[in-house]
Chain A
Amino acid sequence: MRSDGSQSAPLGLKIAAACGLLFLHLPILLIFVYAFTTEEKSFVWPPPGLTTQWFAVTWNRPDVWQALSLSVRVAAISTAIALILGTLCSAAVSRTRFFGRETISLLVILPIALPGIITGIALRSAFSLADIPFSFWTIVLGHATFCVVVVYNNAVARFRRTSGSMIEASMDLGADGFQTFRHVVLPNIATALLAGGMLAFALSFDEVIVTTFTAGQQQTLPIWMLEELIRPRQRPVTNVVAMVVMLVTLLPILAAYYLSRDGDQIAGSGK
């Protein structure tokens, strides 16, 4: 038998892999059907009828808009902070070898490697010890901390592929450090930063576990959703919001994928 690498997989493996992928995707598709159901009181399948009226109802709900606006503001500011901190850290780690380099990588990864509840309760304990009242900024503090790693991962991967001799060439040609950063380094890492920023945004926009510990009485969209899951008030509205959230988080992920596609490192590995 020749081994040319183009042989097809055994049938059993094909079926198992296909079933696994279906298991991952069918539940998500279901969300899109339920957003149009006419049923209000239960999760009955098949839907007794289809309607688009719940989109209008959701559109006119001020609590949804408030939660959405808070989520977007938190995600935007956390992403901005994570972009600055993550870029600085990745530049330092990939440019030079220094004592404690491994420790710094670990420090960046830790907030996402430990379960969210640990980050959450740790921040909560710190706020309680330091008598810091809950506010918009306590949410941002938590979110920015675990968003750094996403930007960091993307930027480190790009720096690894960017040759250091380009920086030296730029300096040899008479550019100062700032010009080199502006005209050589930044164009090289821009798409990686964009991808990292989008994933950070998606991560913050969707985060609920840490947020429940740092938000106090404020409602981000995931907290609004969690409330609805525990104590449902108007199920069709939840269905519509679930579908919209799904679409909104899907776009940055796809965009990030296309931006970092030819990268050697996988953009999101290590959420």
Chain B
Amino acid sequence: MSLDAAMVRATAPAILPGSGGLRGALSDLFWRKPKVLLLLMLLPPVLWLGIVYIGSLFALLAQSFFSIDEFSGLIDREFTLKTYGDLFQAANLDIILRTVTMAALVTLASAVIAFPIAYYAARYARGRWKALFYLGIMLPLWSSYLVKIYAWKLILAKEGILTWLLAKLHLLWVLDAWLSLPIVGGNSLSVSFTGTFIVFVYVWLPFMILPVQAALERVPGNLVEASSDLGASPGQTFRNVLFPLALPGIVAGSIFTFSLTLGDYIIPQIIGTSRLFIGQAVYSQQGTAGNIPLAAAFTVVPIVIMGFYLWGAKRMGAFDAL
């Protein structure tokens, strides 16, 4: 008898008999070989995500190297870089530049508005108030995206509540002056870039608050006190103590605000001008124009931008703040 077999006998259960039947055999197998169980558990999700999602991403990449026949409107399934070349037409570059600028501005504004809320929630809110703050951020985050946009259509409409409020305050001239400006202005707020910007900030703001709050929760309160004990003004404390410690959280939040703005096509379509953003270009290319290759190539742009962005964020330690 080999040594191995003797070992097995020695370690075999002394009291319990081996379980019988298929169920018992399976159960025993999983206990003896945890790797089999692990494999069985991982297989369905990995297969699903691998085939449906990663597979689709590859299909997208493949499509971006195809081109459309301009006469027949059919897709020519042969490798070409022509579609990527089309991206560099002035009109398309314009769209990319406009979207990236908007994403950067939205990110900046979200960070400014998010910071006081996150700081208050992290440092001063306790007990019941803390829960209230948490719900106050989670409810707008999770409530219906389209309804939120719709609410802003109601607010920003020419006959809407904002105009009414400004008229009551005798401040209508401010609005008119702003709307008469080039680029940011327009007929009314709901058909201007200003409107698009406000709605973007509104819809993505909770995504900024949560990581900033998480980062600020980790700052010990006595650090701030020490700073003021040593004679720093509140402004100096903010610049030299709070802001550097909150920065990873802000960068983490900016991943969401930046990436979501880059890819959104519904907000600028409902509240905004007729000038396109990347998302709208993708949508109209695949829909009415039937040019899936160009739509695919357009989608690669935010992927590449986000790739660089994530790489930079990782170097700043933003992922620890997520």
Partner of B138, one of A9, A46, A104, A257: A257
User: Closest residue of chain B to A22, judged by CB?
Assistant: B136
Q: Are A230 and B269 in contact (CB under 8 A)?
A: yes
Q: Is the C-beta of B296 less than 8 angstroms from some C-beta in chain A?
A: yes
Q: Which residues of chain A come closer than 8 Å to B255, judged between CB atoms? A: 113
Give the interface size bracket for A toward B: 35 or more
Q: Is the C-beta of B153 less than 8 angstroms from some C-beta in chain A?
A: yes
Q: Is the interface of A mostly helix, strand, loop or mixed?
A: helix
Q: Are A145 and B52 in contact (CB under 8 A)?
A: yes
Q: Are A129 and B63 in contact (CB under 8 A)?
A: yes
Q: How far is the CB of B307 from chain A (nearest CB, A)?
A: 10
How many residues on the B side are at the interface (Cβ–Cβ under 8 A)? 101
Question: How many A-B Cβ pairs are below 8 Å?
Answer: 272
CA distance A175 to B66 in the complex (A): 57
Q: Are A148 and B45 in contact (CB under 8 A)?
A: yes
Q: Within B250-304, which residues are at the interface with A (CB < 8 Å)?
A: 255, 259-260, 262-266, 269-270, 279, 282-283, 286, 292, 295-296, 299, 302-303
Q: Is the C-beta of A75 less than 8 angstroms from some C-beta in chain B?
A: no
Q: How far is the CB of A193 from chain B (nearest CB, A)?
A: 15
Q: Are B292 and A28 in contact (CB under 8 A)?
A: no
1/0 per position for B17-52, CB-CB distance to A under 8 A?
Answer: 001000110111011001001100110111011101
CA distance A114 to B300 in the complex (A): 11
Q: Are B42 and A126 in contact (CB under 8 A)?
A: no
Q: How far is the CB of B66 from chain A (nearest CB, A)?
A: 9
Q: Are B30 and A229 in contact (CB under 8 A)?
A: no
Q: How far is the CB of B224 from chain A (nearest CB, A)?
A: 9
User: Closest residue of chain B to A98, judged by CB?
Assistant: B38
Q: Which residues of chain A come closer than 8 Å to B120, judged between CB atoms? A: 9, 13-14, 16-17
Q: Within B209-250, which residues are at the interface with A (CB < 8 Å)?
A: 210, 214, 221-222, 225, 234
Q: Are B142 and A8 in contact (CB under 8 A)?
A: no
Q: How far is the CB of A144 from chain B (nearest CB, A)?
A: 7
Given contacts A98-B38, A118-B302, contact A242 B150 (CB under 8 A): yes
Residues of B in contact with A (beta carbons under 8 Å apart): 16, 19, 23-24, 26-28, 30-31, 34, 37-38, 41-42, 44-46, 48-50, 52-57, 59-60, 62-63, 75, 113-114, 116-117, 119-121, 123-124, 131, 133-155, 157, 159-161, 164, 202, 205-207, 210, 214, 221-222, 225, 234, 255, 259-260, 262-266, 269-270, 279, 282-283, 286, 292, 295-296, 299, 302-303, 306, 322
